[in-house]
């Protein structure tokens, strides 16, 4: 089994260490970088399974790094967790987030970070799975057989049916 890799780009060493310990417990091999310029150079090396990115970094901003990551096809399937203490930055980033990325406002609780990393990892695994028989048609019975009773749509009642 291949070890999952996490790249933590956080200039505050104590916060970075909390992130490293939290993600390490989940089985990730973590690398912490505390400088935006070094992180920019590192992006050309091995591609991690997940990135934790602070927005306020020395030399090169986290925003610039995020734009570089999202512009690269090599990072298309790598989720990024953006971490910032600045609410204004957080609000401005909300509309720019890639669908698989998430925004965490500091202070970040380790449990929340761990849960988020696990969720993003599962989403990534599902997105990378090959589709079985992609050209084979799927019947409604197949869909319903793989749906729990609480997810099964209910037909409209008489009142709802006549209202339409």
Distance between CA atoms of residues 138 and 144, nearest Å: 11
Is-above-0.85 flag for pTM? no
Any idea of the CA torsion for 102, 108, 111, 113, to the nearest 10 degrees? 30
DSSP 121-134: HHHHHHHHSPPSST
- 44 contact partners, CB below 8 Å, separation of at least 6: none
Q: What is the pLDDT of residues 22-44, one digit of tens each?
A: 999 999 999 999 999 999 999 88
Would you say residue 49 has pLDDT above 90? yes
In the chain, what are the domains? 4-128 (3.40.50.2300)
Among 73-87, 92-106, 112-126, top mean pLDDT goes to 73-87
Distance between CA atoms of residues 138 and 123, nearest Å: 22
What is the sign of the dihedral through the CA atoms of 93, 42, 77 and 124? negative
Q: 38: number of CA atoms within 13 Å, CB side? A: 12
């Amino acid at each position: 089994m291949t070890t999952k890799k996490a790249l933590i780009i956080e200039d505050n060493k104590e916060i970075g260490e909390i992130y490293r310990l939290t993600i390490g417990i989940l089985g990730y091999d973590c690398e912490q970088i505390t400088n935006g310029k070094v992180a920019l150079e590192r992006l050309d090396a091995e591609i991690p399974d997940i990135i934790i990115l602070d927005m306020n970094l020395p030399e090169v901003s986290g925003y610039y790094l995020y734009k570089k990551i999202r512009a690269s096809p090599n990072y298309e399937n790598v989720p990024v967790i953006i971490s910032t203490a600045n609410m204004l930055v957080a609000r401005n980033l909300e509309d720019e987030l890639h669908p698989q990325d998430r925004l965490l406002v500091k202070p970040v609780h380790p449990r929340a970070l761990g849960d988020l990393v696990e969720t993003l990892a599962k989403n990534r695994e599902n997105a990378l799975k090959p589709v079985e028989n992609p050209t084979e048609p799927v019947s409604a019975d197949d869909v319903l057989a793989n749906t729990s009773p609480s997810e099964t749509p209910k037909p409209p009642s008489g009142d709802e049916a006549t209202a339409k």
